[in-house]
Each structure stands twice: as structure tokens, then as C-alpha cells.
Chains A and B, each alone.
Chain A
Amino acid sequence: GAGVSQSPRYKVAKRGQDVALRCDPISGHVSLFWYQQALGQGPEFLTYFQNEAQLDKSGLPSDRFFAERPEGSVSTLKIQRTQQEDSAVYLCASSLNSGRYNEQFFGPGTRLTVL
């Protein structure tokens, strides 16, 4: 069955480059989440979408981070002028409905390395 997919799986960027990470949620899922997982840490919340609306972006660490979900399905996380501290695994998750009691299904993540 089709789960959450993310691309690319691995990305190496030079410091200062812009990157775009893609998330394809499970079809029909209303909610979409982005997390950042640094080495040895747990996932940390970045932002949340309900359909195309970005309802919570309180976890985005700086204005270099931008996320969008223009048609309420595929989402892109963009990081401008990447820094070494941006190196992490970026996880996307989707859930069928809104609300925290709905199970989140995670993708495999994109491992970003900034040199």
C-alpha cells in the first residue's frame, strides 16, 4: 500500500545553498506535519498543515525555513541559505483527519547534510 513518501532520501548541500524537500502524504489525508530530527535526538515539530492551510509554524527555527502545501496534498519544505546546523533528518507525517488523536503516519525522512 502507498504510505508517506519523501524525496530525495539524501541531500548534500554546500553551506549557503537553497534546498527543497518533498513530501507525498497518504492520499486523502487532511493533516500534514514536518519534523526535524537531529542526530541522537527525537523528532522536533516544525509545522502543521490542515489541507492547504498552514495552521501552526511555531517550530520553524528561522525565517530561512518555509513550507507550503498549495493544493492540500504534496508539501514542500524549503530551506534557504543552508547552514551546518540545518543538518538533520527531516520527517514528514500525515494523518487522516485533524486532531491529535488521529494516528500520524511517518515517511522515511530526508537526510540533509550541509557541508
Chain B
Amino acid sequence: DQQVKQNSPSLSVQEGRISILNCDYTNSMFDYFLWYKKYPAEGPTFLISISSIKDKNEDGRFTVFLNKSAKHLSLHIVPSQPGDSAVYFCAASTNTGNQFYFGTGTSLTVIP
């Protein structure tokens, strides 16, 4: 039972344009969300997080938006750069335990 879903396996964007990666979740108890970036043959690296008390968090070119009523979050990257080409995972957790639930990932390709 996949509690965190990323329905777009891949996305291609021109350099300089906005990349929007989407994530949906089913568990209403999730209250903390993260995005990870993964290059081939490396482990995921933390990118940005958001708590459910907020609806937006921004860090440089990266902004995460949370819509709790829709159980949806998105990651915006602007402007996109070729170095952003990677697989992006969203993850979520509840306030009990230490588990994070990951989506299946979206492979982003930024075309120079």
C-alpha cells in the first residue's frame, strides 16, 4: 500500500525554466515532508523540508508547497539548471516513530 505517490516517473525541462515535481499522499497523519535528490550510484541527499504548520518553504531556487486539504505537495525549481538532473524523491512521516515513507521518485532531466 503506497502511502506516498509520485505519479510522474520522468520530467524534462529546458534550462532556465521552472521544474515542478508533484507528490500525493494518503495518510492524513503525515505532518512532516521532505524532498531528496539522488544521483546515479549515490545515496539520496536531503534537499528541503516542510512541516504541516506551513504551506510553503523556500530555500534558494527550491520551493516546496504543501496543500493539506488536497494531500499534495510540490517542489518547484527555478531556474532549472543541468546539474539539477537527478531523481527526486518525496518522503513523509508522522509524529510517532522514526519511519519515513518514500515515493517512487521522478527522474528530472534539464536540457541545456
Give the B-binding residues of A (Cβ under 8 A).
Answer: 4, 31, 33, 40-45, 48, 55-56, 58-59, 91, 93, 98-101, 103-109
Contact = CB atoms under 8 A, between A and B. Distances in A.
A42 B93 contact: no
Contacts of A48: 98-99
Interface stretch (B12-20, B55-63, B71-79, B100-108): B100-108
Contact of A93 (B41, B43, B89): B43
Contacts of B89: 42-43
B97 A56 contact: yes
A55 B98 contact: yes
A44 B99 CA distance: 9
Q: Which of A4, A41, A55 has the most CB of B within 10 A?
A: A41
A56 B98 CA distance: 8
Contact of B4 (A42, A93, A104, A106): A42
Interface residues of B, number: 21
Interface in B66-112: 89, 91, 93, 97-105
Interface of B: 4, 6, 32, 41-46, 89, 91, 93, 97-105
Contacts of A106: 43-45
A58 B97 CA distance: 10
DSSP majority for the A interface? loop
B33 to A, nearest CB: 11
A77 B90 CA distance: 25
A91 B41 CA distance: 11
Given A100-B93, A106-B43, A107-B43, A33 B32 contact: no
Given A41-B104, A42-B104, A109 B43 contact: yes
A114 B43 CA distance: 21
Nearest to B42: A108
Nearest to A42: B102
Contacts of B32: 100-101
B52 to A, nearest CB: 13
Contacts of A109: 43
Contacts of A103: 46
